[in-house]
A and B are shown apart, each in its own frame.
Chain A
Amino acid sequence: MPRSSCPSTRGAPNKQGEIHMITVNVDKCLHCGGCVGSCPKNAIFLNDFVLEFNEDCIDCGRCVKLCPVGALTKV
């Protein structure tokens, strides 16, 4: 399973103290920002060429479902 090289997507705890499990395959991501606008919790940020999730992520998987290139994975 490809893991993100972005530190914040590798096991940053959410508000409930859980480790969130959505990972970004940085070799696939097109940096289109679609997931950013689709996130119901405003938890995804596209900072230049790095996709970051913050602690508001609830693992809903909406971004995983919508990514046009399948760069996001829920593990």
Chain B
Amino acid sequence: MKTYYCDAVVVGAGPAGSMAARYCAQGGMDVILLEKKAEIGAPLRCAEGVSKSWLDEVGIKPEPAWIRGDMKGAIIKSTKGTTYQLDESKAGNEVGYVLERHLFDKALARDAAKAGAKIMMRTSCTGVIRENGKIVGIKAKSMGEEIEIRAKVIVAADGYESQVGRWAGMDTTLKLNDIDSCIQYRMCNIDIVPDYCEFIIGSCAPGGYIWIFPKGEGIANVGIGVMGTKCTGKADAKYYLDKWIAQDPRFKDGQILEIMGGFVSTLPGLDETVDDNIVLVGDAARVIDPITGGGICHACRTGMYAGQLLAELNKTGDFSKKALQPYEKRWRDRMEDKLFRNWMAKEKLATLDDDVIDEIIKLIKTAEIKNVTVFNLLKAIKEKYPKVVEGFEDLI
């Protein structure tokens, strides 16, 4: 069996993995980055909307190649049809880009390669190697060939399906109400507002929402997330999405170009994201915004934090759970309060009926909110409907 040796092996070349590999390599580590599929960034499992503010923070320069659209604002709509249009002047940093993920992900992997990371395509991790109880590498299948990769530390960036963390003995299981089951269509021939990302909330998408993110003239990613506990029998995510599309006149002539599915964690991160010789990043660490399901910026941040710390630790060679704690602390300090607040908001939102949601959107319309962020929206709601934010009012 062929054996490779390196300082760090990163499983998964999505945004989290590529960022981790890049910062490990930049710090002088010998890094191998694995990708199970035959193409980085495809098939798509994402609505492709991101905000802009964090790109600079993680050292990503916007490139025209992977920006599909520069959004002017957002539209929030209730199932009953009350609409709130949010313009750039008010949306601040919450407005952003719609990406071409297949190009974005490749650009991040390219940056990792430029920094010195070695990429192995069509290579899937099949297990973790332990010697005397200590993780010393991974088993993998590369282009059909069984191999071993020996490393001082493993970075699990294998996304929602993360098995590497579980093979390493970490509990990554989610409760049903902490999972949203999602389906998305790339639709053409539809009558949508270009440059605005639309979110439809309420009974049309129990415990989640429907999104319409424009991808050019008459084309959009039209998708839905439905809370796991709300999926019953025939009422799966596809059922709810098809039901909405059938009654929304804008989709009358719409045709589907692509169907994609995927799940998203709506938990505010795992309780533990490190163990001896292993770090979990991005979706694998369940670091995702529970209310939007957005995880790209969280993936890039956790990837960078992990990469920077590992490069530092490589000087001493100590990758114990204790030594890895600064990673845990850094991402929690940066993101955990917001994730927790949004998780509470999501839990509450899932309990509200369409009339209340309609009232809330009407309230937002009339309230003078200068800079519309989830935080400021919740603040306005707190004033008028304190019951809605009961239990997490301290975070607002």
A residues neighboring B (CB under 8 Å): 30-38, 40, 42, 46-47, 62, 65-70
Question: Number of contacting residues on B, CB 8 A?
Answer: 32
- In the complex, what's the smallest C-beta–C-beta distance from B302 to chain A, in angstroms? 17
18 contacts between A and B (CB under 8 A): A32-B45, A32-B261, A34-B161, A34-B182, A34-B263, A37-B160, A37-B162, A37-B172, A38-B179, A38-B228, A42-B167, A46-B161, A62-B176, A66-B179, A68-B181, A68-B237, A68-B262, A69-B183
Given contacts A33-B161, A37-B160, A40-B173, contact A68 B166 (CB under 8 A): no
Query: What's the Cα separation between A36 and B12 when bound, in Å?
Result: 15
Q: Which of B159, B228, B238 contacts A69 (CB 8 A)?
A: B238
- Judge if B236 is at the interface, Cβ distance under 8 Å: yes
Query: What's the Cα separation between A36 and B125 when bound, in Å?
Result: 14
- In the complex, what's the smallest C-beta–C-beta distance from A20 to chain B, in angstroms? 19
Closest chain A residue to B172, Cβ basis:
A37
A34/B232 in contact, CB under 8 A: no
How does the 8 Å CB contact mask read for B34-53 relative to A, with 1 for contact and 0 for none?
00000000010100000000
Given contacts A32-B45, A34-B181, A38-B174, contact A68 B162 (CB under 8 A): no
Chain B positions within 8 Å of A36 at CB level: 161, 163
- Judge if B61 is at the interface, Cβ distance under 8 Å: no
Closest chain A residue to B241, Cβ basis:
A68
Query: What's the Cα separation between A75 and B161 when bound, in Å?
Result: 25
Query: What's the Cα separation between A32 and B236 when bound, in Å?
Result: 15
Closest chain B residue to A40, Cβ basis:
B173
B160/A66 in contact, CB under 8 A: no
Most central of B43, B172, B261 by chain A CB within 10 Å: B261
Chain B positions within 8 Å of A62 at CB level: 176
Q: Apart from A65-B176, A66-B176, A66-B263, list 6 A-B contacts with CB within 8 A.
A: A30-B183, A33-B45, A34-B182, A37-B159, A40-B173, A69-B237
Closest chain B residue to A34, Cβ basis:
B263
Chain A positions within 8 Å of B159 at CB level: 33, 37
A70/B260 in contact, CB under 8 A: no
- Judge if B231 is at the interface, Cβ distance under 8 Å: yes
- In the complex, what's the smallest C-beta–C-beta distance from B220 to chain A, in angstroms? 18
Chain A positions within 8 Å of B161 at CB level: 33-34, 36-37, 46
How does the 8 Å CB contact mask read for B225-243 relative to A, with 1 for contact and 0 for none?
0101001101011110000
Chain A positions within 8 Å of B43 at CB level: 31
Q: Which of B163, B176, B234, B238 contacts A68 (CB 8 A)?
A: B238
A42/B262 in contact, CB under 8 A: no
Query: What's the Cα separation between A40 and B226 when bound, in Å?
Result: 19
Q: Which of A31, A34, A68, A69 contacts B160 (CB 8 A)?
A: A34
B262/A34 in contact, CB under 8 A: yes
A32/B166 in contact, CB under 8 A: no
Lowest 6 CB-CB distances: which A-B pairs, in order? A32-B261, A34-B263, A68-B237, A37-B161, A30-B261, A68-B183
Closest chain A residue to B126, Cβ basis:
A45
